[in-house]
Structure 1
Amino acid sequence: MDYNKFSDDELARAIELMVAPDELMSRQIMTAILAAAEYTPQEVEEQLESGEPLNDGPRLSWNF
Structure 2
Amino acid sequence: MFAGLPSLSHEQQQKAVERIQELITQGMSSGEAISLVANELRASHTGERVVARFDDEDEDE
User: What TM-score, normalized to structure 1?
Assistant: 0.27
Q: Which has the higher contact order (CA 8 A, sep 6+)?
A: 2
User: What TM-score, normalized to structure 2?
Assistant: 0.28
User: Which has a greater percent of strand?
Assistant: 2
